[in-house]
Structure 1
């Protein structure tokens, strides 16, 4: 038991530090979602201070301040994403290849480092980033 306690303590401390890594850098975090096709474009950019949203079909172009609760929720969703692995995520569908869906991508910038996903269909992101994408679109008031 004496040997297990220090190991458990180290694991708990490590997990606590890892989950709060983005929290400590939140002023340097920006998330950008963009989806385009010939007839429509959707963009959402979220950072600690604001939400910028545009949807060409709905005629939406807005910039609003983000409240603390919404920012915390976005950070929680972002903490569940493995940023280094975003580029290797495979899209679950390929309707964007024949204009059946908007071609979308997600980019997360932390300090000076950008993490980008591969392209995927708007409305059908890879499962690993789906909650974050849904949270961004919901926050911006954009329907899929």
Structure 2
């Protein structure tokens, strides 16, 4: 009987932690902004929705779509692995943005009323610690460009 109780308790706690991580991402706002002289794009992920804007002034219409469950699970897994306090200390792997070789990218997470932000890096070349996360967010913009 003790073993059965222990197993049930372990399963219950495991499910609780998984749903807590999902809830954590639902309460976060993730912004990925790319800009250069002739290009601008802002991708915002919030509460299983993605919003894409290509207008710096915000006057153009934004494209909002629901994130599919499989993609959302991947984002939740990426979010779990990010150390929020260390985002500002991440080093950009390349410096093409200094000579117009790449657009300037910024990555920001607003979580529990605290903003965590990276320093600028080259679009397409994010720091390795957040590469999977950034690439997943960019995939939403690519999907919308194809449609």
When normalised by structure 1's length, the TM-score is 0.76
CA distance in 2, matches of 1:101, 1:60: 26
Q: Does 1:115 align with 2:113?
A: no
Partner of 2:24: 25
Partner of 1:48: 47
Query: Could you say what secondary structure the match of 1:42 adopts?
Result: strand
CA-to-aligned-CA distance 1:38-89 (integer Å, 9 cap, x gap) = 0101211111231111346xx9941112233222211111111111101000
More helix by share: 2
Partner of 1:34: 33
RMSD of aligned residue pairs (Cα, Å) = 2.6
Unpaired segments ≥5 residues, structure 2? 1-12
Summarize the alignment of residues 1-144 of structure 1 with structure 2, pairs less than 5 Å apart. Answer: 22-55=21-54, 61-141=62-142
CA distance in 1, matches of 2:78, 2:40: 24
Unpaired segments ≥5 residues, structure 1? 1-12
When normalised by structure 2's length, the TM-score is 0.75
Query: Could you say what secondary structure the match of 1:43 adopts?
Result: strand
Residues 25, 79 of structure 2: 8 Å contact kept: no
Query: Could you say what secondary structure the match of 1:139 adopts?
Result: helix
Cα–Cα, structure 1 residues 115 and 21, in superposed 2: closer, same or farther, change >3 Å? farther
Aligned residue pairs: how many? 127
Residues 104, 120 of structure 1: 8 Å contact kept: yes
Q: Which runs of 4+ in 1 moved over 3 A?
A: 19-22
